[in-house]
Amino acid sequence: MIFQEYHKTVLPNGLTVISEHISTVRSVSLGGWIKSGSRQESREINGVAHFLEHMMFKGTSHRTPREIVRSVEALGGNINAFTSKEQTCFYVEVLDEHLSQAVEVLADIVCHSTFPQAEMEKEREVILDEIQSLEESPDELILDYFVEHLFPEHQLGMPIIGTRETVRNISRDQLIHFYQQHYRSSNIIVAAAGNVDHQELVELCQRYFLFPHRNGVYRTTTPEQSSQGEYVFQKPIQQCHICMGISGVSFSDPRKYSLLLINTILGTGMGSRLFQNIREAHGLAYGIFSFVDFYLDGGVFGTYLATDPKKQHLAIQLLEQEFQKLQKEPLSQEELEEAKSQLKGNLVLALESTASRMNRLAMMEIYLGSFLPIDEITQQIDNITIDEISQTAQELLDVSRMLRIIFIPHK
């Protein structure tokens, strides 16, 4: 599967429609992307974007909750949604012959949801149960703690799902106010990838994505210098869980691909330095990895592992040594080329999925306002030098500036 045709149209009402035509498939992945997530919340209503995502499936002026799902599943398709720090996405995957029905259903839930109070109370309990499940998964919970302490005074540090207190107290009026402020045509992107005709998609969006005129405001504040130091929490667990890292770079930062290569070298896959040293050579951890995330004006870089509590200090020491090694010792050309091949391979293999291509279209439009073909991205990766890797490592991997979150068993 290779890049075929990219198109972009901004409708008179401000709705952006983007598509990539792929003639070798018989399906279409379609997404309605709202450029609002937990970052647009106040602390008092933390979790409202995620709550709203759930409520969009609880009935419209045209469909019951069951009819929403069956409208797509009866066609052999799938419908779902997710909320992130900076976006909310509702997506549908269908055969190409069902594009019109897919657009109509997607527009129905985005434009005509009714938010019944009875359904809201039931869904509140579902989300509280979701919070409980998260709290019983230390490998996931520690990542929330990490971001919370990395950006302690900023919305980026707030949990996407919200807290028990905020979820219990969010009212229907607050939910509707957030919806009216952010779910407006100029704040929404409709993205599609697959066997889709762009002009047909535009006409369908003009017909179905109809919003009242709204003057919501899309505000963001740039996060300040991130937190650092060590925070230890006692949990009802057996292992010691460690998350260590620092604030990273934005989606549009020139160092993005250098950091992705560093992430590949350090903690992506069984051949990575962390896996080979901490797991294979020392036998300290079963699960260990590094991760990156990119935002509008900042980002996150971190590492995670779980180990025996008696071995936590050795594990941290070895983590720090790997960071310092990348700062002080230049890569070999061979290791850099292997990392480039691995990163490019992962990116290209992901594009075998129309859903991944649809996601990629939307993210580039949201963060860059344009589209980069995969060949241009792989060329940018190929152009990264050993000196650029060293420079990025020196700027971002300073152990003295890092944040450590540690979960230990109750004493």
- The mean pLDDT of 188-209, rounded to a whole number, is 97
- Structure confidence at residue 2 as a pLDDT band (50, 70, 90): very low
- Tell me: pLDDT of 184 over 70: yes
- Which of 275, 104, 311 minimizes the C-alpha distance to 206? 104
Tokens representing residue 204 in the block: 């369908």
Active site annotation includes 395: no
- Tell me: pLDDT of 227 over 90: no
Query: Domains in the chain, ordered, with CATH?
Result: 5-208 (3.30.830.10), 229-409 (3.30.830.10)
Of the chain, the percentage scoring pLDDT greater than 70 comes to: 97
pLDDT of residue 216: 56
CB atoms within 10 A of CB 406: 20
Least confident of 107-121, 225-239, 252-266: 225-239
Distance CA 238, CA 379 (A): 46
User: The dihedral of CA 221, 248, 278, 265: what is its sign?
Assistant: positive
- Tell me: pLDDT of 66 over 80: yes
CB atoms within 10 A of CB 68: 21
Our CA dihedral for 239, 245, 251, 255, rounded to 10 degrees, sits at: -140
- Structure confidence at residue 82 as a pLDDT band (50, 70, 90): very high
Reported residue count of the chain is 411
Least confident of 207-221, 328-342, 379-393: 207-221
- Tell me: pLDDT of 35 over 90: yes
Distance CA 231, CA 403 (A): 8
Tokens representing residue 354 in the block: 């129309």
- The mean pLDDT of 49-72, rounded to a whole number, is 97
Which amino acid makes up residue 171?
S
Distance CA 164, CA 2 (A): 46
Q: What is the pLDDT of residues 269-312, one digit of tens each?
A: 999 999 999 999 999 999 999 999 999 999 999 999 999 999 99
Whether the CB-CB separation of 377 and 347 falls below 8 Å is answered with yes
- Structure confidence at residue 326 as a pLDDT band (50, 70, 90): very high
- Tell me: pLDDT of 43 over 90: yes
- The mean pLDDT of 360-389, rounded to a whole number, is 95
- What is the rounded average pLDDT for all residues in the chain? 94
Whether the CB-CB separation of 64 and 118 falls below 8 Å is answered with no
- Tell me: pLDDT of 219 over 80: no
What are residue 60's DSSP bridge partners? 113
pLDDT of residue 3: 45
Distance CA 8, CA 271 (A): 40
Distance CA 196, CA 26 (A): 9
- Structure confidence at residue 213 as a pLDDT band (50, 70, 90): low
- Tell me: pLDDT of 193 over 60: yes
Q: Which of 53, 86, 93, 322 is catalytic?
A: 53
pLDDT of residue 211: 81
What are residue 29's DSSP bridge partners? 93, 193
pLDDT of residue 1: 39
